[in-house]
Amino acid sequence: MNIYALIILTTLLLDILLNITADLLNLKNLKTTLPKEFKGIYDPEAYRKSQEYTRTNTYFGFITSSFSLTLTLIFWFSGGFNYLDQIIRGFDLHPIWSGLIYIGTLMFLKAILSLPFEIYSTFVIEERFGFNKTTPLTFILDQVKMLALSLVIGGPLLAGVLAFFQYTGTLAWLYCWIVFVLFTLFIQFIAPTWIMPLFNKFSPLEDGELKEQILDYARDVKYSLSGVFIMDGSKRSAKSNAFFTGFGKNKRIALFDTLMEKHPIPEIVAILAHEIGHYKKKHIIKGMVISILHTGIVFYLLSIFLSNKGLFQAFYMEHISIYAGLLFFGMLYSPVELILSIFMNIFSRKNEYEADQFVKDTTGKSEDMIHALKILSVHNLSNLTPHPFYVFLNYSHPPVLQRIRKIRDADNNV
Ligand SMILES: [Zn+2]
């Protein structure tokens, strides 16, 4: 086994070990006593149910991650990557077509194998806890649309990357970077108007008390209200949420319709204020800049390792190709990715605190935000007491109790 195989294998094993450790600590940290902030909001039965939900999902996660690791290792060490390459080479196609078929086939296989798990999660687990609203038809249509989108968007992009590395020499990484950035900015720009409506209906706010209050608030903080929409999240799940998407003239805040049913108007305004906070505090722009820089570094490193013989030996390949190099580099890069994702989560959790602070500063009413956070956690059966190590690895948002305490702390300091 060469050094590349060793690095990749170690990362795969380390990754699952870290996650299992975090999961076990998380399970151990499930407290039976209700945190005092939630007295009167959670009844004991529902609180028990929320812990059961965390437990069920954790056990299910053990099964899916060990299944996926086992299959990856079997495919790798039985020479699957080379076997598939030999079959495709037999067709004697242009290398770019071979690359599209090679990567497409592997992605398709991965999707097919994860499908039963997705079905179980949606129609058994989510159903048991009363969340699932997805009909089998919606589920099937979602899969078909996603497949079509990855062909239409992913296909040309992959072909472009393969072509640049095939024909443009040492600066290929730079061309790839420029095209990739322009392309993803374009996709993000059109996503709210062209892509997301394929999956959900977005309706403008209806006239009434809510709209007036939101209008007042938006005027106060100088935010254009044209971008606030209600999304039919109830089509798939009873869980509720809100999010920010797009940029420039095409930016949007989507509030789930499920949110409307559960929260009084001032709380919806607080949730909206939090999303506007992400925009006003430039979290969206910062996130984009980080991802653009990251893409550049990845393409540069890719160009260094792309035809590295050792990397191909690690996967028992008989031929060197750009497309397989792309895939293997992705695996070699995974330790960096693992560390980066931890930093990105730290960055994201910091942004959540800032957006909460923005709500406090601009509405002056922290109790509405706190109550909204509590109701959201109860309805989504969020884990109230996640283990700090689990949070460190996986949470893009701080645990709800920490958010509440932070908002209250800031109150006391005034
Ligand atoms: Zn947020």
Question: Which pLDDT tens digit goes with each residue over 86-127?
Answer: 999 999 999 999 999 999 999 999 999 999 999 999 999 999
Query: Which residues, at least 6 apart from 255, have a Cβ–Cβ distance to it below 8 Å?
Result: 228, 229, 230, 231, 242, 268, 271, 272
pLDDT of residue 383: 96
Residues in a beta bridge with 243: 254
Task: State which H helix or E strand residue 202 sits in.
Answer: strand 202-204
Going by the DSSP 8-state scheme, the letter that residue 157 receives in this structure is: H
Rounded distance, CA 284 to CA 286, Å? 6
Q: In the structure encoding, which two tokens stand for residue 143, read together? A: 């899969």
Residue 187 CA, ligand 1 centroid: distance in Å: 22
Question: What DSSP letter does each residue of 350-393 carry, written as one string?
Answer: HHHHHHHHHHHHHH--HHHHHHHHHHHHHHTT--SS--HHHHHH
Q: In the structure encoding, which two tokens stand for residue 99, read together? A: 């690359």
> What confidence category does residue 235 fall into, taking pLDDT thresholds of 50, 70 and 90?
very high
Rounded distance, CA 335 to CA 160, Å? 26
Give CA 186 to chain center in angstroms.
Answer: 19
Residue 201 CA, ligand 1 centroid: distance in Å: 22
Contact 312/394 with Cβ under 8 angstroms? no
Going by the DSSP 8-state scheme, the letter that residue 193 receives in this structure is: I
Helix pair angle (265-280, 366-379), 10° resolution: 100
Q: What is the mean pLDDT of residues 151-172?
A: 95
Active-site amino acid positions: 275, 356
pLDDT of residue 85: 98
Question: Which pLDDT tens digit goes with each residue over 389-408?
Answer: 999 999 999 999 999 999 99
Buried b (16+ CB within 10 A) or exposed e, 263-295: bebbbbbbbbbbbbbbbbeebbeeebeeeeeee
Q: CB neighbours (10 Å) of residue 79?
A: 15
Query: What's the angle, vertex CA 248, arms to CA 246 and CA 250, rounded to 5?
Result: 50
Going by the DSSP 8-state scheme, the letter that residue 252 receives in this structure is: E
Query: What's the angle, vertex CA 159, arms to CA 82 and CA 78, rounded to 5?
Result: 15
Residue 207 CA, ligand 1 centroid: distance in Å: 26
C-alpha atoms less than 13 angstroms from C-alpha of 319 in its C-beta half-sphere: 16
Task: Say how many residues make up the chain.
Answer: 414
Q: CB neighbours (10 Å) of residue 246?
A: 19
Q: What is the mean pLDDT of residues 9-24?
A: 96
Residue 259 CA, ligand 1 centroid: distance in Å: 15
Going by the DSSP 8-state scheme, the letter that residue 119 receives in this structure is: H
Question: Which pLDDT tens digit goes with each residue over 345-384?
Answer: 999 999 999 999 999 999 988 999 999 999 999 999 999 9
Q: What is the mean pLDDT of residues 46-70?
A: 96
Rounded distance, CA 41 to CA 376, Å? 11
pLDDT of residue 311: 96
pLDDT of residue 227: 80
Residue 82 CA, ligand 1 centroid: distance in Å: 44
Residue 278 CA, ligand 1 centroid: distance in Å: 7
Residue 161 CA, ligand 1 centroid: distance in Å: 33
Residue 240 CA, ligand 1 centroid: distance in Å: 13
